[in-house]
Structure 1
């Protein structure tokens, strides 16, 4: 790392391995980097200018992307990132992504990661990891998405459900209080996200159930990483209440399903 390099600390993946070099970001390249770069370029051709532009791949297995200036919320998440207007703008940005992504043919030869992918599959690529650390803000509004490493074919509703988990958040109050401001109304915020996206009535009725499905997939993802000895996930499990937290969170979702559905449809 040179004196001009700036380490970027965002999220749990690639910790300590992502650097800004002027107008470029250099980071470990995923195995499907060529297909992913083609997808990002195609997004721009179809009107989505709110993602990094791929620049190239280095000989030592890293990728170069354009740097997108702005603010990124890191845990514990600040109040400015959890306002109603910020949440609605995340929904609007996700809708823009999906409208462009639906027009991009999925490269069926690529090895899209299954980690957080929609079990039902789909005909467009979903981001699958629209967490606060992967959304760039300016003046309190979401303007760009970064880190498409977990993108995979799926339903738009799956991507919305995954986004809701992080941004509402769809967590029981005890779990939410660990990283989010206190007093967030999950049912009201889920409605704000759906409104920002422009979600249809049919999809609103299905969303709480898909969130439960997405939570199961996320739990399996964490279990797989922990079983493999990933210290980042083992530490997160220990610090955040272990599997009891996941049990509590999943039970809370089931118990409040009717409340969430009513809030989305009323």
Structure 2
């Protein structure tokens, strides 16, 4: 009898992540050794919002603790776009950063560079806090999963990457096309920064870091599309290709003064 349960969500490992009882089996990232050591120390330090490894990598796959709860996957449910979810993700991210800051990691490890902070930083950032990588319980964000892109960086960089998904940071045309026109970017970005407890200097810098993070995400997509990665090419073509990216980047640059003013206030 096959006791596997296929876990859906995400693009990179679609169809390759399964649950067996209390364990999740998935493709192991190249930095799994360093990551597993970090996750083990993180749990030993009292942070329960991330899975722990359940043994060494075998045949290119890792086994991690299954964290029960609800994960939002497309088409996203209404609660995942609500302000309560937005606030709880920001608070979970702050707890993650506090725990990460006191947990040693190997700076010489081969951490991935795809979404890494170009300036580096003092703690291990998640770098992919999208809806599919957050476990909710009782209506609030309780844990982070999928650390394939974790790398050293600044907390502000991780905040910007997470805000892109959860605000979400979309130009008005794209927001209307995806039925999210009602979600006001300035208001929700301020709400995210408030819930996280972002300090004044970082609040003022957030709009420009958002632009930088968007450019990094675009470059990531460009590499995957150029490589013919079918998990990305279909999604890319279906959602407007470079026209949508160009529009977003142009809109973000024009919105910077407004976003800085709102965040300063």
TM-score, reference length from structure 1: 0.96
Alignment of structure 1 residues 30-109 onto 2, 5 Å? 30-109=29-108
Instruction: State whether structure 2 residue 213 is matched by structure 1 residue 214.
Output: yes
Displacement of 1:46 in angstroms is: 2.6
Instruction: State whether structure 2 residue 238 is matched by structure 1 residue 239.
Output: yes
Per the alignment, residue 144 of structure 2 pairs with 145
Aligned mates of 2:188, 2:262 — CA distance in 1: 9
Alignment of structure 1 residues 160-175 onto 2, 5 Å? 160-175=159-174
- 1:12 counterpart SS class: coil
Instruction: State whether structure 2 residue 10 is matched by structure 1 residue 11.
Output: yes
Displacement of 1:192 in angstroms is: 1.0
Query: Is the 8 Å Cα contact of residues 124 and 153 (structure 2) preserved in structure 1?
Result: yes
Query: Is the 8 Å Cα contact of residues 94 and 197 (structure 1) preserved in structure 2?
Result: yes
Q: How many residues align?
A: 265
Displacement of 1:178 in angstroms is: 4.8
TM-score, reference length from structure 2: 0.96
Cα deviation code 1:57-92 (max 9, x no counterpart): 343111001111111111232210111111111010
Query: Is the 8 Å Cα contact of residues 76 and 180 (structure 1) preserved in structure 2?
Result: no
Displacement of 1:13 in angstroms is: 1.4
- RMSD across aligned C-alpha pairs, in angstroms? 1.3
Alignment of structure 1 residues 185-224 onto 2, 5 Å? 185-224=184-223
Query: Is the 8 Å Cα contact of residues 161 and 214 (structure 1) preserved in structure 2?
Result: yes
Change in 2 beyond 3 A, CA 1:58/1:102: closer
Aligned mates of 2:232, 2:203 — CA distance in 1: 32
- 1:204 counterpart SS class: helix
Aligned mates of 1:79, 1:221 — CA distance in 2: 28
Aligned mates of 2:179, 2:62 — CA distance in 1: 32
Instruction: State whether structure 2 residue 260 is matched by structure 1 residue 264.
Output: no
Per the alignment, residue 158 of structure 1 pairs with 157
Change in 2 beyond 3 A, CA 1:125/1:35: same
Displacement of 1:108 in angstroms is: 2.2
Per the alignment, residue 249 of structure 1 pairs with 248
Query: Is the 8 Å Cα contact of residues 158 and 214 (structure 1) preserved in structure 2?
Result: yes
